[in-house]
Each structure stands twice: as C-alpha cells, then as structure tokens.
Amino acid sequence: MNLDNQTAIAAIKSTLDRPIVMIGLMAAGKTRIGKELASVLGVEFADADEEIEKAAGMSIADIFECYGEGHFRDGERRVMSRLIDNTPKVVATGGGAVMDKATADLIFGNAIAIWVRADINTLVERTSQNNKRPLLKDGNPHDILKRLADVRYPIYQKAPIMLETDEGPMNKIIETTLGLLQDYLNR
Ligand code: S3P
C-alpha cells in the first residue's frame, strides 16, 4: 500500500479496535518498525522493554544480573497486561515475551500480533553493535540466536501477520506492513 493513500490508512485506523503487538527475535526491528507504524497510523507507541526499565528503575541488563530472567518475565507480564488495553496503539515487545504463557495468551487473544522476522545472520550483525542483550552474553551469539529461533518460532508463528524484513528502506517496510494489516482486517 502506498504511503500517500491517506484514505486507506484512515480506514485501517478506524477498523483498529485493539493494540498491534510486534513480536520476534531480538534486533529483528520490532521497535524501529513499530514506532514508524504508530506514527503513520497516528496512534500511540509503547516499547515494553523501556516500560519495564522505567517501572524497575534499572536497565534490563541489571535486572537480569541482579534478579534473574524469571523476575524480568514477571515484570514483563505486568507491563504487557497494562499496555494491552483494547485501545488502538502499537506495542513493541522484547523477544522472549511470548515465552511466558500468560503474556502469550494476552497478546494472541487481545491484540493483533505481527511477527517481525529477519535472517539470523542479520540479527547477529545488529546485536554485535552493543551489549544490551543479557541472553547473548554467555556464548556464541549465532548459536544462541539459532537455539532461540528453534524454540520460539513455533510460538511466533501463531501471529496472524508475518513480516519478513530485509535491509530495504523503512517506507517500503511500512507499506508492506500496512498492506498485510489491511488484508488481515478485511478478512
Ligand atoms: C529478550 C529480548 C530483549 C529483552 C531481554 C530479553 C529475549 O528485547 O526483552 O533482553 O528474551 O529475547 P529485544 O527483543 O527488544 O532485544
């Protein structure tokens, strides 16, 4: 769908009766694409990782370090149940959010999930640019991401929309996303 087609974009917005939730492996582009999508649709954007950090008053790396992954997932579940509130908005999640059963039920039951997918080598390249991802600290990032993909893809694929991303320009990615959303909402 062309980004100039304001009528079609307005039609999507008016049909949207629940949040759109971006899921997928770390560094797939959930936040980047989610933010842009929210801006084009003229709805609110929230980043779950950022909200967790705000609520905890510490970074994700520190939460993992001091309290462990279980504690992080509890906070993530609380934040997601606050963010998924039946209003049109876009929410970017952390890659492991759907591995918690209650969070997954909330996302797949009360939101429109978009699985943002990118090649593992792309994810390795992107995640190597900073050390914000505690799960990649202890081992070979390619092996870890591959293992996470094996476990998580069966859950991610419950999303009604799958967005394959590459290095193309953001406006093309958003046009593709809007087209997929339109098809889904018209079903
Ligand atoms: C995680 C992904 C991270 C963050 C945390 C755990 C995961 O978010 O929530 O480090 O389990 O895949 P991004 O997907 O935004 O990197």
pLDDT band at 1 (very low <50, low <70, confident <90, very high): confident
**Hey, is 42 helix, strand or coil?**
coil
Task: Kindly give, in sequence order, each residue whose CB lies less than 8 Å from that of residue 131, ignoring residues fewer than 6 positions away.
Answer: 61, 137
pLDDT value for 130:
85
For residue 166, pLDDT over 80 is answered with: no
60 lines ligand 1 (CB under 6 A): yes
Beta strand ranges found along the chain (DSSP E): 20-23, 44-47, 89-92, 112-117, 161-164
- The helices-and-strands tally (H runs, E runs) of the chain is 9, 5
pLDDT value for 168:
86
Most informative mutation of 133, 153, 155, 165 for ligand 1 (most atoms within 8 A of CB): 133
Separation of CA 73 and ligand 1 centre (Å): 10
Structure tokens at 24: 């997928």
Structure tokens at 110: 């009360």
Which residues are bridge partners to 161 per DSSP?
114
**Degrees (nearest 5) of the Cα angle 99, 181, 158?**
25
29 lines ligand 1 (CB under 6 A): no
For residue 108, pLDDT over 90 is answered with: yes
**Degrees (nearest 5) of the Cα angle 182, 186, 187?**
120
Distance CA 129, CA 64 (A): 20
